[in-house]
Amino acid sequence: MEGKNLFFLVSIILLLIFTFLNLPSPLSHTTDQLFDCTTYSPWCSSKKPFFLRQPENSKNHYADFPNHPLDPLTIGEIQKVKKIVNSIAEFRIKGCVLHSVVLEEPEKEVVLNWRKGHRLPPRKAAVVARALGVVHVLSVDIETGRVTRRETGSYSGYPILTIEDMVTAISAPFASSDFNRSIIQRGVDLADLACLPISTGWYEKMEEKQRVIKVQCYTLKDTINFYMRPIEGLTVLLDLDTQQVIEIIDEGKSIPIPKAANTDYRFSRIKKNTQKINLLKPISIEQPNGPSFTIENNHLVKWANWEFHLKPDPRAGVIISQAMVQDPDTGKMRNVMYKGFTSELFVPYMDPTDAWYFKTYMDAGEYGFGLQAMPLDPLNDCPRNAYYMDGVFVAADGTPYVRSNMICVFERYAGDIGWRHAECPITGLSIREVRPKVTLVVRMAASVANYDYIVDWEFQNDGLIRPKVGLSGILMVKGSPYVNMNQVNQNEYLYGTLLSENIIGVIHDHYVTFHLDMDIDGPSNNSFVKVNLQKEMTSSGESPRRSYLKAVRNVAKTEKDAQIKLKLYDPSEFHVINSNKKSRVGNPVGYKVVPGGTAASLLDHDDPPQKRAAFTNNQIWVTPYNESEQWAAGLFVYQSQGDDTLAIWSDRDRAIENKDIVLWYTLGFHHIPCQEDFPIMPTVSSSFEIKPVNFFESNPILNIPPNSPKDLPICKAAASA
């Protein structure tokens, strides 16, 4: 290959990996800046001085310091951790790779007893490192410089992939002449190639013995939407540690590469002869007095009657902690949830063929949900007056870098109603009372390769919390010899939908499991109650009615009592109560989880992907609080065998009555692709609610005022056409 073509090929590889990981592209800098550690690059030498470049309009994080026990590690703290870890003799000799560096949160009791103005508890970092194939779990005391806990040993699975792992994976195949030959035989120029690193799952094969990854490729020719131009049937299996190609499977030579026509989704590139839709006039919700929320010391959010701690996380994305709501009668802040976050995502594709069977992604534990978060686009991802929060994460060599505009916080008013009542004229009462609904939204959007996930945490001033997940982005498609369904044999199954000529959208599921550490009026004496609605028959002559519904309350004694599969014809409510706290009239105070539209996994429980994702076997689980049980698929997910999951923990059947308990809820989607999903998908969303039940003495927003014309600005509209 000529030098110019090789340089172009390497440039394309770098561009793709930085696009895949949402990192600032080094190709946007001059040659002198390409290997400069002023911006994060995996090729930077750790010996060079580190100066973090702030993205445009980003905050300067050098001056950051912790103000709260749960504040994330600062740049200065990360640099200290790097120095401490590098001083370990074994790591100096063997070298190590850092897969995770995050705050090791203090014990829950310590955090709950801490008050503003008090000295912070000792700051520690939880570090996951690998040296010569051995995983080390470290607890680093930042103040003393000592490693206070160190674990080594065999774990099922491996830690989250590093950026360097992915860079290696997409570049290593080019060292194979067999791979290059296969690409050229498909009629694809190597300079047009776009490849992706794909987790392998675990199927009781070589995945037990070595850290491996699979690579599949596409062509960028004539479109930025390379996902729609797969080189079908070509799969490379790599050893991640040796960077050697283990196997090349090439079974799709007869399948044509789909054409690029109509695949570009960028507004600037839509063909001139294609009608651009402009159905709406501009709309903007203005706040002339500014937003009603404040964010103190970078992480403490205060809005209306809510207060909570907010921080970015490389694995979970967003973590909400110490959510408290004000009681309208006493004025006191009351505990609702100690910690809530996205624990894991499971995305199995329903195609058992050689090039597809392994596509059963665990996006948080394999790739890092927060690491894939993209900078949010003002006015499109988030409205005017939104507050943006950056994430500070850590590269494999310990170098900190900034993910700018990772989270936004804003108020939403969409014309919804908080409560209302109007009297019918026959009563003779002229009453019309209405209150508007304004909510606070915390948003993150993660682009995990082709798919985009929009995660909202929405707070209402009536005490409700609504986690919501939106799916958008681009389908993962397979190449097909067919251009029309009339060519398909009646007995042939496509594993999906023919979306366009030679393109099949493969059926798949999405499961998003939330960790909800509910602390209703404190962590102790919390219980899970299933309130089952049962049909009750009336006695003969008792009533003109023959049946009615009766609410039957069952307090879960142990974990197995709280393993819930949702059933439409067996309706229930699911309460978390504090049995020691009663309302004025004697009801236990609590919150309930209200399921929304969801889906359940139909995979066989003995299917290897479902073994690893056994946390989706139920929609609701309840476990006793355990600080080591946070990740539903286990601490180490990559190539895990399913022996450290929520299902394993829950089968211990521990006591959960009158305990500090954690509720887990899984939101699910079945996705049968359709033509409207091509070339990019309109967002589809689902949510669930965490809602007060007998927590307040009455409607907590009874006393909020209605809107009046004098309170709202009048914007002069442009003359209508």
Active site residue 416: no
Contact 485, 461 (CB under 8 A): no
> 76: part of which helix (H) or strand (E)?
helix 75-86
- Is 660 one of the catalytic residues? no
Q: Are strands 661-671 and 439-448 parallel, antiparallel or unpaired?
A: unpaired
Query: Are 364 and 341 contacting, i.e. CB atoms less than 8 angstroms apart?
Result: no
Cis peptide before 679 (omega within 30 of 0): yes
For 684-705, letters b (16+ CB in 10 Å) and e give: eebbbbbbbbbbbeeebbeebe
The catalytically annotated residue of 451, 453, 511, 638 is: 451
Nearest to 124 by CA among 527, 496, 627: 627
Tell me whether the omega of the peptide bond preceding residue 682 falls within 30 degrees of 0, making it cis: no
Sign of CA dihedral 391, 395, 400, 401: negative
Select which of 250, 313, 363, 644 is catalytic.
363
Q: What is the DSSP letter of 350?
A: S
Mapped onto helix, strand or coil, the DSSP state of residue 39 is coil
Position 652, amino acid: R
> HSE (CB half, 13 Å, CA atoms) of 157?
24
**Rg for the chain (alpha carbons), in Å?**
27
- How far from 456 is each of 356, 412, 418, CA to CA, in Å? 31, 12, 19
Q: 3-state DSSP call for residue 610? A: helix
How far from the centroid of its chain's Cα atoms is residue 620's Cα? 18
**What distance in Å separates the CA atoms of residue 129 and residue 147, rounded to the nearest whole number?**
13
Phi, psi of 676 (to 5 degrees): -65, -15
Catalytic residue list: 363, 451
